[in-house]
Structure 1
Amino acid sequence: MKKYIIGFTALFASTFAFANECATTVESNDAMQFNTSKVTIPASCDEFTVTLKHTGALPKQSMGHNWVMTKKADAQAVASDGVSAGLDNNYLKPNDERVIGATEVIGGGQETSTTFSVAELDKEGEYMFFCSFPGHISLMKGTVTFGS
């Protein structure tokens, strides 16, 4: 019986470590800032999960944030197109194929996450993340790279 429990514990621990390797948490605040300007996705991941935490206190209607990933060349256009889509659409044009991954817009004290496929992405390509709330992309952005 002991041998089985030890084996199960080792299996659980290795699965848990692998799951965490393909996930990250990014924080945002009421000062229009992310707590990081770089997200690295391990090359071994087929899917990646980003959890967004809004550590501020303001509601999403006035200081909402989301986390959006696109190719670097598409970011500004996606953010601009999202303005007219409005808060109900998380400031993203519905079914925008340029969006690789995105969370919903959240307000202070809230948390959300998104899981998206990275298996088919060009690991040498240039990608970035940003907040698509109107005007936020100027300060709230960063790079997404793939590790080896």
Structure 2
Amino acid sequence: MRNQLLFALAFIPTIAAAASNCEVNVSAGDSMAFNTRSIDIPKSCKEFTVNFAHTGTASKAGMGHNWVLARSADVNDLAKAGVEAGIDKNFIPPNDPRVLAYTPLVGGGEKTSVTFKPSILKDGESYSFYCSFAFHSFMMRGTVKLVD
């Protein structure tokens, strides 16, 4: 009984830390895949930060990566518009309100981050994150959910 109680108590700090965590570390390398397929954002967060790292060796121009947040329904159209915008604009259509948050493109070994207010997300809406580098979005995407 005592061992069971100690085992259960060992997880309390982990659960509390996860519940109050208002940032996440995301990475991608030369394999064109994020290290995670989903991100849960606590509704209690006033701000949420995504720390993004390119863990590969490819250059920004050769195979840069970034992290972009948008409604899931908008991702394909944003990706197409991003190709037209080009690398100088991080493959992000300028001033497009459908882009909710994004990091700049980075090359191998580089890091960046973005902080946004979760209040921009609406309950019941489907959100995705993706890489906006030309043609990466079809393989590099995941889901974002607001959680209690």
Which band: TM-score by shorter chain?
0.7 to 0.9
Aligned-residue identity in percent: 45
The answer to whether 1:138 aligns with 2:138 is yes
Work out the number of aligned pairs and report it.
131
Report the equivalent of 2:67: 67
Q: Which consecutive residues of structure 2, in runs of 5 or more, have no partner in the other structure? A: 1-16
Report the equivalent of 1:8: none
Q: Deviations over 1:83-124 (max 9, x none)?
A: 011111100011110011100000000000001122142122
Q: TM-score, normalised by structure 2?
A: 0.85
Alignment partner of 2:45: what SS? coil
Report the equivalent of 1:109: 109
Shift of 1:42: 0.5
Amino acid at match of 2:128: M
Q: TM-score, normalised by structure 1?
A: 0.85
The answer to whether 1:46 aligns with 2:46 is yes
List 4+ stretches of structure 1 deviating above 2 A: none
The alignment yields a C-alpha RMSD, in angstroms, of 1.4
Shift of 1:62: 0.8
Q: Deviations over 1:61-88 (max 9, x none)?
A: 0110010000000011111101011111
Alignment partner of 2:137: what SS? helix
Amino acid at match of 1:75: V
